Structure 1
Amino acid sequence: MIFRYRDYHKVDNEWVKVFEDGYFKLSSITVNKPASTVINVTSGEGLLFVLKGLVKVNEVSMGNFDVAYIPKGSSIRIELNPGTLAYLAESWADNTRGFYVKKREAVKPVTSGIPPYERNVYTMIGEGDPADSFLMGYTEGSIGNWTSYPPHRHDGKPEAYIFYGIDPGFAAQFILSDDEELAYVVHDFDVVLIRKGYHPNVASTINRVNYAWVIAAPRGQRTLSVNVHPLYSGLPMGQTHLRMGK
Structure 2
Amino acid sequence: MSEHFHTIPSTPGHHPLQGLSCQLLGFEKLVLLPGHVHEGRCVAERETLLVVLSGTATVQVGEQRFERVGGRANVFAGKPHSVYLPRGARYQLEAGTRFEAALVSTPSNLDVPAYEIRPDAVRTGSWGALNYTRHFREILTLPDGQPAASLIVGETLTPSGNWSTYPPHKHEREEGGEVFHEEIYYFRVASPEGFGLARHFSPERGFDTTHTVRDDSLLSIPYGYHTYAAAPGAQSYYLWALAGNGRRQGVALLPELAWTQKLVGMA
Structures share fold, TM-score greater than 0.5: yes
In structure 2, what is the Cα distance between the partners aligned to 1:47 and 1:56?
15
| Letter of the 1:166 counterpart | A
SS of structure 2 residue aligned to 1:149: strand
Matched residue, 1:123: 138
Query: For 1:178-193, what aligned pairs fall within 5 Å after superposition?
Result: 178=203, 179-193=206-220
Matched residue, 2:39: 38
CA contact (8 A) 1:28 1:88 kept: yes
SS of structure 2 residue aligned to 1:210: strand
Q: RMSD of aligned C-alpha atoms?
A: 1.9
**Are 1:2 and 2:11 counterparts?**
no
SS of structure 2 residue aligned to 1:76: strand
Query: For 1:63-102, what aligned pairs fall within 5 Å after superposition?
Result: 63=70, 64=72, 65-102=80-117
In structure 2, what is the Cα distance between the partners aligned to 1:113 and 1:23?
29
CA contact (8 A) 2:66 2:116 kept: no
In structure 1, what is the Cα distance between the partners aligned to 2:31 and 2:255?
42
In structure 1, what is the Cα distance between the partners aligned to 2:266 and 2:96?
37
Q: Tell me the alpha carbon deviations over residues 96-145 of structure 1, each in whole angstroms, 9 at most, x when there is no partner.
A: 12322112343231211001100111111102331111000000112200
| Letter of the 2:228 counterpart | N
Match of 1:137 among 154, 159, 184: 154
CA contact (8 A) 2:33 2:95 kept: no
**Are 1:196 and 2:223 counterparts?**
yes
CA contact (8 A) 2:167 2:227 kept: yes
CA contact (8 A) 1:110 1:239 kept: no
In structure 1, what is the Cα distance between the partners aligned to 2:118 and 2:187?
19
In structure 1, what is the Cα distance between the partners aligned to 2:183 and 2:86?
20
Matched residue, 1:166: 190
Match of 1:56 among 48, 55, 58: 58
In structure 2, what is the Cα distance between the partners aligned to 1:127 and 1:171?
29
Flag as ranges the 4+ runs of structure 1 deviating above 6 A: none
Matched residue, 2:25: 24
In structure 2, what is the Cα distance between the partners aligned to 1:106 and 1:165?
25
Q: Which runs of 5+ in 1 are unaligned?
A: 241-246
Of residues 143-152 and 73-82 in structure 1, the stretch that sits farther from structure 2 once superposed is: 73-82
Q: How many matched pairs?
A: 234
Shift of 1:238: 3.5
CA contact (8 A) 2:129 2:266 kept: no
| Letter of the 1:59 counterpart | F
Change (3 A) 1:238 1:71: farther
Change (3 A) 1:181 1:105: same
CA contact (8 A) 1:173 1:183 kept: yes
CA contact (8 A) 1:73 1:96 kept: no
Change (3 A) 1:176 1:22: closer
| Letter of the 2:182 counterpart | P
Matched residue, 1:243: none
Shift of 1:209: 2.5
CA contact (8 A) 2:189 2:195 kept: no
In structure 1, what is the Cα distance between the partners aligned to 2:24 and 2:165?
24
SS of structure 2 residue aligned to 1:34: coil
| Letter of the 2:105 counterpart | E
CA contact (8 A) 2:189 2:237 kept: yes
CA contact (8 A) 1:166 1:187 kept: no
